Amino acid sequence: MTDKRRRRVHTPVPTWLWIPAGLGIAFLLVPIIGMITRIDPSHLGDVILAPESRLAMGLSLFTSVIAALVSVSIGFPLGYLLATRTFRGQRIVRTLILLPLVLPPVVSGLALLYTWGRTAFLGSLLTDMGLGLAYTTAAVVFAQVFVSLPFMVMSVETAAAARGQDFELAAAELGAKPERVFFRITLPLLRQGIMTGAILCFARALGEFGATLTFAGSLSGVTRTMPLQIYLVRESDPQSAIALSLLLILLALIIIVLAYRSPHAPKLHAPRFATKAHAGEDSTPQTGQSSRLPGGHQPEPDADHPRSVTSTVRLNARLPERGIDVDLALPTGTTTAIIGRNGAGKSSLFQLMTGAISAESGSLHIGDETVFDLNTNRWPPVHARGIVHLAQNPLLFPHLSVIDNVAFGLRAHGHRAKEAHTIAGGMLSSLGVGHCADRKPEAVSGGQAARIALARALVIDPKLLLLDEPLAALDVDVRVETRRVLGQVLSGRSAVIITHDVDDVTALASTLVLIDSGTVALSAPVGEVGADLAAAAQGAPDMPGHDFLSSFCDGDREGILCSRSR
């Protein structure tokens, strides 16, 4: 019964695709089968164990490994920069990198020979220093790197471009410097692209023939790799050529299979979804857990995060290309809600605050501290601002456990591992997700992921917490409980939340700001919005965003937001 059910599972893939796919498999497989059928088994062992064959195979393996390592070490930075940076001449660089893929191998060998050969300018300089390359084992590696490097660059560039920079930005907002972000986030997340590139480089180097023969020659034990040995014996002993070819194919298959069985290799099977026991769990605290902060006490507004009626968050910024021109003052120690139509510029304001994008002019002050001021050329990097942005996607680092995710910012700020884990565990427990500490992010539900991301932000005590529709993707019941916990942990903190839900405003915020077409259309305390709206409408009937705000107030069933207008 189970097998029948599996066969009946719907698939969006058209059945007819198996026809060209089968032809492709046959096109690749039939020649190899044809070659295998020509092998004389009695002759196979003698050919493989012959001294010349062993020398050639050993040289091929040695040079291919070196070439793959060199390609990774110089190809990864190049591919990553091509994917993440824009610089003058970028298209020319990319064209030159791809050129070896389309050049005939002999032409590649000639290019190397006339550059690094003994009579070439660069080659003669090396020869004079006793470092001549032509017709040496080093020349074999040079030829292999020249033809295999593009595979590494393409693999990394494709992987980095597809993944984007969101995780790196999230890590920087937690206080991680570029080096920590690179080694702890970027490299682990790109390891599949790196592994793929390394496998392709090794396979290409192992089969390199034309460039090697032209540049390095065919000296036994020095430059004669296995492809050259096969070429050498194919006329005089076809059986030996077939046997050596089969050996080369088997070796390449073994390397590829072992590489793809690595835990860090790209997965060849369909992705597994989290089990219901993990992914579908309710995000409410377990029995015995509370929504208290670490230390077992409820957050007091006048304790660690005192409210201030005089201190403000003051943002003044212009970014014409996005239509942003704001002058905004928000009280610290409280939560401010920002509303507005899609495309009004709300998310751009957050990106300006964190430093993800730069304004043309303006400044940001939190109390007496200047975060940035373009008039004085002060524009600190993201990791030095103390501002954390929680997006709709929690952006939990997928290669780290939950506890390591939450401890990441603490480690970036200098805490030791044990201390960071203790603090992180306490924060997770206070938000009702302490039981998820040892899981990977893929094994938690949406509500749990939202709380974990919140815990990761709160443990570093940011100067300003920005939340971009943090509850929008949650189920209704999970949203209610998460909103309650969020209200507790935001008490006394400086926070700004973008939302389209009137319940978020009434439950969490003390101030409401309406953004329309990149400008501040209205800013008023919650509860006085209706009065300010009515007064503004009388003075300016065509007030920007009037219709949107009126519709938003209509969603306030309890009359809290716009109480004075009812």
Model pLDDT, residue 190: 93
| Distances in whole angstroms, Cα of residue 226 to Cα of each of 58, 145, 148, 444, 549 | 8, 17, 17, 50, 75
Model pLDDT, residue 423: 94
Judged against a pLDDT cut of 70, whether residue 2 lies above it is answered with no
Model pLDDT, residue 35: 79
| Distances in whole angstroms, Cα of residue 158 to Cα of each of 124, 163, 524 | 38, 9, 47
CATH number for the segment(s) 312-526? 3.40.50.300
pLDDT band at residue 534 under the 50/70/90 scheme: low
Average pLDDT of the residues of the chain: 82
Identity at 361, one-letter amino acid code: S
Q: What is the DSSP string of 458-484?
A: HTT--SEEEEESTTTTS-HHHHHHHHH
Alpha-carbon span 549 to 508, nearest angstrom = 18
Taking each helix axis from N to C terminus, what angle separates 51-84 and 238-260, rounded to the nearest 10 degrees?
Answer: 40
Model pLDDT, residue 541: 57
Contact between residue 467 and residue 387 where contact means Cβ atoms under 8 Å apart: no
Give phi and psi for 293, each to the nearest 5.
Answer: -80, 165
SS (H, E, C) 19-84: HHHHHHHHHHHHHHHHHHCCCCHHHHHHHHHCHHHHHHHHHHHHHHHHHHHHHHHHHHHHHHHHHH
Question: Structural domain boundaries of the chain?
Answer: 30-260, 312-526
Judged against a pLDDT cut of 90, whether residue 169 lies above it is answered with yes
Judged against a pLDDT cut of 90, whether residue 265 lies above it is answered with no
Contact between residue 460 and residue 413 where contact means Cβ atoms under 8 Å apart: yes
Alpha-carbon span 452 to 435, nearest angstrom = 11
| Distances in whole angstroms, Cα of residue 526 to Cα of each of 311, 328, 496 | 19, 16, 14
Contact between residue 338 and residue 496 where contact means Cβ atoms under 8 Å apart: yes
Judged against a pLDDT cut of 50, whether residue 385 lies above it is answered with yes
Model pLDDT, residue 66: 96
CA atoms within 13 A on the CB side of 299: 23
Average the pLDDT over each of 34-38, 375-379, 414-418, 429-433 and give the range with the smallest value.
Answer: 34-38
The answer to whether the 30-260 and 312-526 domains have the same CATH topology is no
**Which of 397, 471, 461, 404 minimizes the C-alpha distance to 436?**
404
Model pLDDT, residue 10: 61
Identity at 118, one-letter amino acid code: R
CATH number for the segment(s) 30-260? 1.10.3720.10
Q: What is the mean pLDDT of residues 530-545?
A: 60
Identity at 117, one-letter amino acid code: G
Judged against a pLDDT cut of 50, whether residue 238 lies above it is answered with yes
- Which residues, in sequence order, are bridge partners of residue 372? 364
Of 276 and 41, which is predicted with more confidence?
41
Alpha-carbon span 511 to 307, nearest angstrom = 14
Alpha-carbon span 424 to 429, nearest angstrom = 9
Residue pLDDT, tens place only, 458-514: 999 999 999 998 887 777 777 888 888 888 888 889 999 998 888 888 888 889 999
Model pLDDT, residue 253: 80
Q: What is the mean pLDDT of residues 24-28?
A: 89
Task: Give the highest mean pLDDT range of 306-310, 422-426, 427-431.
Answer: 422-426
pLDDT band at residue 273 under the 50/70/90 scheme: very low
Give phi and psi for 490, each to the nearest 5.
Answer: -85, -10
Model pLDDT, residue 275: 38
Task: Show the tokens assigned to 151.
Answer: 């595979």
Alpha-carbon span 147 to 108, nearest angstrom = 8
- Which strands make up the sheet holding 495-498, listed edge to edge? 387-390, 464-468, 495-498, 335-339, 511-516, 519-525
Residue pLDDT, tens place only, 279-334: 344 444 443 344 334 433 333 333 344 444 448 999 999 999 888 999 999 999 99
Model pLDDT, residue 14: 86
Task: Show the tokens assigned to 146.
Answer: 């020249």
Greatest Cα-to-Cα distance within the chain, rounded to the nearest angstrom: 101
Task: Show the tokens assigned to 362.
Answer: 């303006």
